[in-house]
Chain A
Amino acid sequence: MEKGNSPFKFQIDTWQKFGNGYSGMVVAPTGFGKTFSVFLALISDFLTYPDKYKKGLKMIWITPLRSLSKDIAKAMQEAIDEIGLDWAVGVRNGDTDPKVRQQQVKNMPEILVVTPESLHLLLAQKNHQRFFTNMHCVAVDEWHELLGSKRGVMVELGISQLFHYVPKLKIWGITATIGNLDEAQDVLIPYDIKKTKITAKELKKIDIISVFPDEVELLPWAGHLGQKLADKVVPIILESKSTIVFTNTRSQSEMWYQLLLNAYPDFAGQIAIHHSSIDAHLRIWIEENLSSGKLKAVVSTSSLDLGIDFKPVDTVIQIGSAKGVARFLQRAGRSGHSPFETSKIFCVPTHSLELIEVAALKEAVRQKVIEPREPLVLCFDVLVQFLMTLAVGDGFFPDEVYERIKKVYTFQEIRDEEWKAMIDFLTIGGSALKNYEEYHKVVVMEDGLHKVTSRKIAMLHRMNMGAIVSDAMLKVKFISGGYIGMVEEYFISKLKKEEKFILAGRVLEVAMVKDMTVFVRLSKGKAFAPSYLGGRLPLSSNLGHFLREKLSGALNPKASEKELKFLHPLLANQEERSHIPKEDEFLVEMIKNREGYHLFMYPFEGRLVHEVMAALIAYRISKLAPISFSMAMNDYGFELFSDKEIPLNKDNLAKILTRDNLMVDVISSINSAEMARRKFRDIAVISGMVVQNFPGQQRSNKALQSSAGLIFKVLEDYDPNHFLVRQAYTEVFNMQLQEQRLVEAFKRIEKSKIILKFANTFTPLSFPIKVDSLRQTLSSEGLDARIQKLIQQAKRK
Chain B
Amino acid sequence: MKIVTKNINIQDHVFTLTNQRALFWKKEKALILSDLHIGKTAHFRKNGIALSNQIFESDLQRLSVLIEYFQPEKFVIVGDLLHAGDNSDVDKFCEWKNQFPDIEFHLVEGNHDRISKKLEAKLCLNFKLTELEIDDITFVHDFEKSNPKFQITGHIHPGIVLNSFVKKIKLPCFALSDNQLLLPAFSEFTGLDTRNLPKKARFYVFTDAEIYEI
Contacts and interface: CB of A to CB of B under 8 A. Distances in A.
Contacts of B134: none
Contacts of B42: 436, 438
Contacts of B46: 438-439
B189 A710 contact: yes
Interface in B51-67: 51-55
Contact of A706 (B54, B166, B189, B195): B189
Interface stretch (A248-256, A426-434, A747-755): A426-434
B207 to A, nearest CB: 15
Contact of A630 (B54, B83, B166): B166
Contact of B52 (A433, A454, A710): A433
A316 to B, nearest CB: 40
A436 B53 contact: yes
Contacts of B88: 436-438
B43 interface: yes
A690 B49 CA distance: 8
A293 interface: no
Contacts of A709: 191
Contacts of B112: 703
Contacts of A454: 48
Interface string B59-98: 0000000000000000000000001100110000000000
A691 B52 contact: no
Interface stretch (A13-21, A134-142, A711-719): A711-719
A460 interface: yes
A370 to B, nearest CB: 37
Contacts of B191: 706-707, 709-710
A717 B112 CA distance: 27
A714 B50 contact: no
A718 B54 contact: yes
Contact of B50 (A439, A703, A707, A717): A439
Interface string A687-723: 0111100000000100110110111001001110000
Contacts of A704: 43-44, 47, 49
A704 B44 CA distance: 6
A456 interface: yes
Interface string A614-656: 0000000000000011110000000000000000000000000
Contacts of B43: 703-704
A425 interface: yes
Contacts, number: 82
Given A703-B84, A718-B55, A425 B189 contact: no
A457 interface: yes
B45 A438 contact: yes
Nearest to B47: A704
Contacts of A717: 54-55
Nearest to B112: A703
A34 interface: no
A460 B47 contact: yes
A690 B43 CA distance: 13
Contacts of B52: 429, 432-433, 714, 718-719
Contacts of A439: 45-46, 48, 50
Contacts of A433: 45, 50-52
A703 B48 contact: no
A417 to B, nearest CB: 17
A441 B46 CA distance: 8
Given A437-B88, A493-B195, A703-B112, A714 B49 contact: no
Nearest to B83: A703
B180 to A, nearest CB: 22
Contacts of B165: 628, 630
A545 B172 CA distance: 47
Given A425-B50, A429-B50, A456-B47, A438 B87 contact: yes
Contact of A689 (B50, B55, B83): B50
B189 A688 contact: no
A439 B44 CA distance: 9
A437 B53 CA distance: 12
Interface string A447-476: 000000010110011000000000000000
B50 A441 contact: yes
Nearest to A434: B52
B44 to A, nearest CB: 7
Interface residues of A, number: 39
Interface string A320-351: 00000000000000000000000000000000
Contacts of A688: 48-49
- Give the one of B52, B53, B112 with max A CB within 10 A: B52
A244 to B, nearest CB: 38
Nearest to B50: A429
Nearest to A436: B45
Contacts of A703: 40, 43, 83-84, 112
A711 B207 CA distance: 20
A514 to B, nearest CB: 14
A415 B165 CA distance: 43
A43 B54 CA distance: 60
A707 B87 CA distance: 22
Contacts of B40: 703, 706
Contacts of A440: 48
Contacts of B51: 429, 433, 711, 714
Given A438-B88, A719-B52, A706 B47 contact: no
Interface string A190-201: 000000000000
A347 B183 CA distance: 56
A690 B44 CA distance: 10
Interface in B104-141: 112
Nearest to B191: A707
Interface string A718-743: 11000000000000000000000000
Given A703-B83, A704-B43, A706-B189, A691 B49 contact: yes
Contacts of A711: 51
A240 to B, nearest CB: 46
Contacts of B47: 456-457, 460, 691, 704
Interface string B183-197: 000000111000100
Contacts of A700: 84
B189 A714 contact: yes
A704 B85 CA distance: 13
- Give the one of B45, B55, B112, B191 with max A CB within 10 A: B45
Contacts of A430: 50
B40 to A, nearest CB: 8
Contacts of A631: 166
B141 to A, nearest CB: 16
Given A438-B42, A438-B87, A703-B83, A628 B49 contact: no
A429 B41 CA distance: 12
Nearest to A454: B48
- Give the one of B40, B87, B166, B190 with max A CB within 10 A: B166
B212 to A, nearest CB: 21
Contact of B44 (A437, A629, A706): A706
Nearest to B166: A630
A630 B165 CA distance: 7
13 contacts: A425-B50, A438-B88, A441-B50, A454-B48, A493-B195, A628-B166, A690-B49, A691-B47, A703-B43, A704-B44, A710-B191, A714-B51, A719-B52
Lowest 9 CB-CB distances: which A-B pairs, in order? A429-B50, A441-B48, A439-B45, A703-B84, A457-B48, A438-B46, A718-B54, A718-B52, A438-B45
Interface of B: 40, 42-55, 83-84, 87-88, 112, 165-167, 189-191, 195
Given A438-B42, A439-B45, A691-B47, 19 more contacts: A429-B45, A429-B52, A433-B45, A433-B51, A436-B42, A438-B45, A439-B46, A439-B50, A441-B48, A457-B48, A628-B166, A631-B166, A671-B167, A703-B40, A703-B43, A703-B112, A706-B189, A711-B51, A718-B54
